A and B are shown apart, each in its own frame.
Chain A
Amino acid sequence: MIEALLTLLGFELLGELLRSTLHLPVPGPVAGMLLLTAALVLRHRATGTPANPPAETALDRVSGVLLDHMGLLFVPAGAGIIAEGALLRQEWLPIIAALIGSTVLSLAVTGLVMHHIIRTQAEAAP
């Protein structure tokens, strides 16, 4: 479990270091996530184990705990809304319209594009 924690923090650190030395526009944790994904895939390739091992590793468990309780982690940042009250009152219309409009469009476009490509491929190769 400690090893798994060290893995997550280590890759976050690696991401931050990479970002500051190469001046990447990507947030450090995102760079860390990409590096860890690559490392996991490469390790599966190197050791010849399947990419989706049936056994649960310590990293699976620690990641699972973090991802299952991710909601809690948003609360401190979300409470910061109290400092932005004036801005929210002033711009409530563009905020509400953008939240609804953008979410509807994104759901529809993602769904329609994938639906059509999958269907076309299925028809081309029966």
Chain B
Amino acid sequence: MSHSLLALWTPLAPAPLLWLAVTLAAFILARRLQRAAGGTPLVNPVLFAIAIVAALLLTSGTPYKTYFAGAQFINFLLGPATVALAVPLARNLHHVLRTLRGTGLALLAGSLTSIISGISIVWALGGSHSMALSMAPKAVTTPIAMAVSQEIGGIPTLTAAFAIIGGIMAAMMRQHMLRKLNISDWRVHGLAAGVAGSGIAAAQVAPQSKLAAAFAALGIALNGVVTALLLPLLTLFWS
């Protein structure tokens, strides 16, 4: 009896459906945790959902490959979601055109600062070549960051983790830091959040000001494009 039950259960256990359901459940749980904590950016739902899934995988001894067989159906949506960034970008294009020089130069400066400082700090502290390349696109929105990381020879999963942690750090520090620099313009706060911390920092600044939200969306989309174009060229000269 128990043998036949086991035989029935075993072929079901690694079913992709299970890990697909676990991923959704972990995210729902993580969002409830954030709500219970008063919506603070410190309890980031992405970070907590990853921690829950990782803990389950490690304790059950499940290899990542088995997990991904199910979770790939969620991962696939990153492609259309990246394309979807075109919609807020097209809608806010008139804002960029009005402050073209400021937005463009700030974006270029911030993007280059992030890439070059990321690579140099890892390199200066004795990190490996592939670690430096995985760090380089970390300020960019995660789906673009992962694709760029793959393109230049980094490790996309590491880049995804760096992008998420970097985003949380930017969300925590942005307001305090820019106030210290005597900057109160919401356009500047929004753009800095989008360029340095992509989606996670943008989600944090959005409730404070609509104008900041538009510039954050802009910062995310344009930084993604600039980095995707610049980084493969920059790494051609550094190998």
Contacts and interface: CB of A to CB of B under 8 A. Distances in A.
Interface of A: 5, 8-9, 11-12, 15, 25-30, 32-34, 36-37, 40-41, 44, 51-52, 59-60, 62-64, 66-67, 70-84, 87-88, 91, 93-95, 97-115, 117-118, 121
B199 A73 contact: no
B173 A52 contact: no
Contact of A102 (B88, B114, B160, B189): B114
A94 B192 contact: no
Given A91-B128, A107-B178, A32 B106 contact: no
Given A73-B143, A98-B122, A110-B191, A81 B83 contact: no
A15 B83 contact: yes
A15 B148 CA distance: 14
Interface stretch (B3-11, B35-43, B65-73): B65-73
Interface string B69-90: 0011011011111111111111
B232 interface: yes
Interface of B: 23-24, 26-27, 45-46, 49-50, 53-54, 57-58, 64, 67-68, 71-72, 74-75, 77-94, 99, 101-103, 105-107, 109-110, 113-114, 117-118, 121-128, 131, 135, 138-139, 142-144, 146-148, 150-151, 155-158, 160-166, 169-170, 173-174, 177-178, 181, 183, 185, 187-189, 191-193, 195-197, 199-200, 219, 221, 224-225, 228-229, 232-233
A44 B89 CA distance: 13
Given A63-B87, A66-B80, A118 B102 contact: yes
Interface of A is mostly: helix
A78 B54 CA distance: 9
A36 B83 contact: yes
Contacts of B232: 25-26
Contact of A67 (B84, B117, B166, B196): B84
Contact of B169 (A34, A37, A91, A103): A103
Contact of B197 (A28, A103, A108): A103
A51 B126 contact: no
B194 to A, nearest CB: 9
A115 B185 contact: yes
A100 B170 CA distance: 9
Contact of A8 (B83, B187, B197): B83
A51 B90 contact: yes
B74 A76 contact: yes
